[in-house]
Amino acid sequence: MNNIEAKQQQIETTMRLAPVIPVVVIDDAKAAVPMARALVAGGTPAIEVTLRTPAALEAIRAIAAEVEGAIIGVGTVLNARDLHAALQAGARFAVSPGMSPYLLDAADDSALPLLPGVATASEAMSLLERGYRHLKFFPAVPAGGHKLLGAWASPLPQIRFCPTGGISLGSAGDFLALPNVLCVGGSWLTPADKLATGDWAGIELLAREAAGLRKPG
C-alpha cells in the first residue's frame, strides 16, 4: 500500500465516524475543550477547527491533549506551513477549501491525511489522478448543491464526498441520501452565540440531532 492510499483510508475512517463533521470557527481557545467534549458526547467525534482565527492552533492543541474520543482536524489549510502547524498541534487530519499543485506536493510529504476541496468535476478528476478518492465538495450549496453532486455519482463512481458550505440540519439529508456522500460538514453545530455564552448543553443537543442523520439503508 502506498502512502497516499494509507492516508486516504484514514480519511475514509474519519468520514464514516458520524454523518456530520462539525466545522468550527473559534475565537476563544478557552472554549475549545468544553466545546469538543460536548460534540463528542453528542456523537460527532470528528471535529474540524478552521485556521481562520488567531486562537485556532491553541484550540487544536488543547482538544488533542485533553478531549478523549475527539478526532481533531484542521480546516482552511492552504500550504505546507499550515500542514506542518496542524501536525505539530496534534491534528489527525487536514481539510482544504480547494487544491493546488503546491499544496498536494506538500501533502505528499506530510504524515497528515488531507481531505482536499473541489467545486468542479475537472478538479475531482485531477485529484483522482493523484490518488485521492475522498474529497470535500465546497462550497456545496453555492457550487450546485446535492443535484450537482448526485450527477457526478455515475461518471465518478470511485469518489466519495464530504459536502460542506451552506448546509443545515434541514438540508443535510438531501446530501446524505446520495450514494457518493459519506458525511457532510456543518457549522450549525457550533453557532457563535453558543460558543460565546458557553452553552455546552445546547451544542451537545445540536450534535445529537446531527448524529441522528443516518444515511438511508
Positions marked active-site: 48, 136
- Report residue 14 as a C-alpha cell: 474519519
Do 172 and 158 meet the contact criterion of CB atoms below 8 Å apart?
A: no
- What lies within 8 Å, CB to CB, of 217 at 6+ separation is none
Q: What whole-number distance in Å separates Cα of residue 5 and Cα of residue 130?
A: 10
Long-range Cβ pairs for the range 83-90 (8 Å, 24+) = 83/107, 83/110, 83/112, 83/114, 84/110, 85/51, 85/57, 86/51, 86/57, 86/60, 86/112, 87/111, 87/112, 89/57, 89/60, 89/61, 89/64, 90/60, 90/61, 90/63, 90/64, 90/65
Find the helix or strand (DSSP H, E) in which 24 lies.
Answer: strand 20-24
Q: What whole-number distance in Å separates Cα of residue 17 and Cα of residue 45?
A: 7
